[in-house]
Structure 1
């Protein structure tokens, strides 16, 4: 580490909330332990991290890169190759100016040029892998990393043995400080005595989930069930044209800013099988229905979901069965008290509340 100055850390984090929020959680814990620490994020221009990360008080530098390992044999692949080269030069310039003591990669396409530049400049690397099947970037750079922190036992086999440890996924501190259900319902304008379903489609929403809910709105109204519905920015205007979506039992959001409050209010949670959402729900212990995104890279969402299903900690609905099964399966779970208790008990056993602290301790051991 540089002598006589505060530690300096770069975090490569972006593309989706599943990569962004673990980076923020790590940064928050670092700041908590070393208030004078200097943290800089590197993200992708025109992606959500450029707006989201500054909300948490951190600086971010944007590079011009978009994802898609499946694009390399196409025109898009040629463009991506140019972006990678240009992004490397940008990150290299940032690293030389910022002079970090370590570079942390949380996966995704933003991490690729960031970790490559760190390797070229002989900066220590720590990798954090969220999924049961690791992403391409993390698999490539794990051989150069000082430490690899993984969330699942199943992913250890893809990384070097001597440097890989199971920590779980880092989650934001707010997840440990949920308000009471009563306070959450008052804040959201919902009735505490009526069942509440929270539907999370991921940071971009989920069109197929939205279509299933639209078909089931009448049934939910008849049963007097409430729905906190994250529909995504691409679907919000379409869904608002449906008159039933304006019923007082429903709350529509394009993006959920205050997820802890929504978690606290919910009796049942329905979501895609992103690793971060799974890790958060394992800590709060709510009954859970998973709908893996079938086009996720390396089918990682389906792999994540099966781990919970095997432990009887969640139910899985296949994407192609959403419109047929989602609403009825959710209603059935709402009304099954014994199943809800069993799922809550089992999912809590999978939580790793010390994950963020353990990852930060590994970072500090490398640089201090």
Structure 2
């Protein structure tokens, strides 16, 4: 059986695009291994899902079940999965520098970033931007795709969709092209372009945006936001997790997360909780921000609340299940991970433009609030964690209702459905197969 290839196109402007691609690719690997009879997960050194012999574990703590066999999954097709950072691998100057500027721009000049987002969120302006950007990437993207010869292409970034459609048109290859939208409500117009085979959308709000832009309704699949398959694995009880983490069993736990780069006002939030002497204990995740980690470690002795400080972690499901509430910036991935763990959310901030809709999503669905100022954060925690609070239970139930922990598996199945049937030529082999058939037909006459 010939090997098939699935290519994921991303750009590291924020961690959410790579995280979505990793979540889906891990789900594909697990579905394939399950079809081959090896469905268990073990954790690798970097925390990514790895496959080992055994059976996929069942549901636990409401986090969802593992992948079930679906029609057409009886046998596993040999697969090669490639994640391409398109700006770095295919972009000419200054595209390669664009991804590196996202973090500083969104952190230090958020107002300007938001203004650019809104001014560019229009079909005419998007066309102008694409006419400017596409020549800086098109030829190298064509070359990279010709090297990889994908049977399916999946984009997880809005600025890569127009140029990918153009590249496939120039290459004259009928490769199915799927777009996975990772914004919960305020999806930028650049996500949507004619020529994509299918769109995977996370919410009904994004589906309505898609339809309002006049694109084909039959191409839409409302499957949710992909999060890593480890969020469907069973975990220990809250009591056991707190014991493992060295936490007090009864004192409420507040999990503070700043994203992969450790941004999001973590230090200000910790200081506000400490100064208010709230009866809580803290789990603080600084991500890859080593400077912030060292700073908080140095200041920890002055705090009025017990706390554990961690850097980049690979056990986020366990941390979320041990907590009573999460304080985080409005990244869509972290929001949906928290929902999968039935965890109420307090948003400490957002990137103007692209993350504004995520705040709306959290508040409209009754799973959390925005608290950008220290006093707002303290008040939100007091209301949520006071003894006998009905608000806490309401938000837990709303999170349970809203969560879609299986989204990565549903998206993986959709992608696999676009692979050529076993024994049939792929999109890069079709010309050769047609030519060979014509030659054989001529010889038979």
Q: What TM-score does the superposition give when structure 1 sets the normalisation length? A: 0.80
Task: Choose between structure 1 and 2 for higher RCO, CA contacts under 8 A separated by at least 6 residues.
Answer: 2
Rounded to whole Å, the distance in 2 between the matches of 1:115 and 1:252 is 45
Q: Output one character per residue of 1:184-210: Cα deviation in whole Å (capped at 9) or x when no partner.
A: 223322222221101112222235342
Alignment of 1:279-298 (within 5 A): 279-295=336-352
Q: What is aligned with 1:270?
A: 327
Task: Find 2:228's aligned residue among 155, 172, 192.
Answer: 172
**Structure 1 gap segments, 5+ residues each:** 47-60, 74-79
Indicate the residue corresponding to 2:218 in structure 1.
162
* Contact 2:282–2:306, Cα closer than 8 Å, also in 1: yes
Matched, 1:363 2:415: yes
1:314 to 363, 368, 380: 368
Number of the residue aligned with 2:203: 152
Q: State the alpha-carbon separation in 1 of the partners of residues 304 and 138 from structure 2.
A: 50
Aligned-partner Cα distance in 2 for 1:367–1:65: 34
Q: 1:311 to 1:243 in 2, by over 3 A?
A: closer
Greater Cα offset, 161-170 or 37-46:
37-46
Against the structure 1 CA distance between its residues 366 and 106, is the aligned structure 2 distance closer, same or farther, given a 3 Å change threshold?
Answer: same
Give the structure 2 partner of residue 201 of structure 1.
258
Q: Following the alignment from structure 1 to structure 2, what is the Cα–Cα distance between the partners of residues 206 and 245?
A: 22
Whether the 8 Å CA contact 1:285–1:348 is kept in 2: the answer is yes
Q: Quick check: 1:125 aligned with 2:177?
A: yes
Moved more, 351-360 or 163-172: 351-360
1:13 aligned onto 2:70:
no
Query: 1:266: Cα distance to partner?
Result: 0.6
| Shift in CA distance, 91/117, structure 1 to aligned 2, threshold 3 Å | same
What CA deviation, in whole Å up to 9, does each residue of 1:121-160 have, x standing for no partner? 3332100112212234422x3x111110100111113322
Instruction: Report the counterpart of residue 216 of structure 1 in structure 2.
Output: 273
Residue 22 (str. 1) matches residue 23 (str. 2) = no
CA distance in 2, matches of 1:243, 1:256: 19
- Structure 1 CA distance for aligned equivalents of residues 133 and 243 of structure 2: 47
Change (3 A) 1:81 1:164: closer
Q: CA deviation at 1:244?
A: 3.5
Give 1 or 2 for the bigger CA radius of gyration.
2
1:135-150 equivalences in 2 (<5 Å): 135-139=188-192, 141=193, 143-150=194-201
Q: Which 5+ residue runs of structure 2 have no aligned equivalent? A: 34-77, 103-112, 121-129, 421-445
1:118 positional shift? 4.3
Equivalents in 1 of 2:378, 2:169: separation in Å?
Answer: 49
Q: For residue 231 of structure 1, report the CA deviation from its aligned partner.
A: 3.2
Q: Tell me, yes or no, if the aligned pair for 1:103 and 1:118 is still in contact at 8 Å.
A: no
User: What is aligned with 2:405?
Assistant: 353
Q: CA deviation at 1:251?
A: 1.8
Return the alpha-carbon distance in structure 2 between the equivalents of residues 147 and 66 of structure 1: 27
